[in-house]
Amino acid sequence: MDNISQVVSENLKNARQKKRLSLDELAKLTGVSKSMLGQIERGDVNPTISTLWKIANGLKVSFTELVMKPKVDYEVIDRQAREPLIADDGKCRNYPMFTFDSERRFETYYLEIDANGRLESTPHPDGTEEFITVFSGELVISTNGAQLKARDGDSIRFKADQEHAYTNASQEVCRLSMIIYYPN
Per-run averaged pLDDT (10 residues), the chain, 184 residues: 76 92 94 94 89 91 84 86 91 92 88 96 95 98 97 97 97 97 90
CA 4/CA 40 separation, integer angstroms: 11
What pLDDT is recorded for position 1?
38
pTM of the model: 0.68
CA 124/CA 100 separation, integer angstroms: 13
Q: What is the dihedral angle through the alpha carbons of 100, 101, 103, 109, rounded to the nearest 10 degrees? A: -40
Contact 9, 69 (CB under 8 A): no
CA 81/CA 85 separation, integer angstroms: 13
What pLDDT is recorded for position 49?
87
Residue 35 has a CB neighbour count (10 Å cut-off) of 10
CA 18/CA 6 separation, integer angstroms: 18
Q: What is the per-residue DSSP string for 56-124?
A: HHHHT--HHHHHSPPP-S-----GGGSPPEEEGGGTEEEEEEE---TTT-EEEEEEEE-TT-EEEEPPP
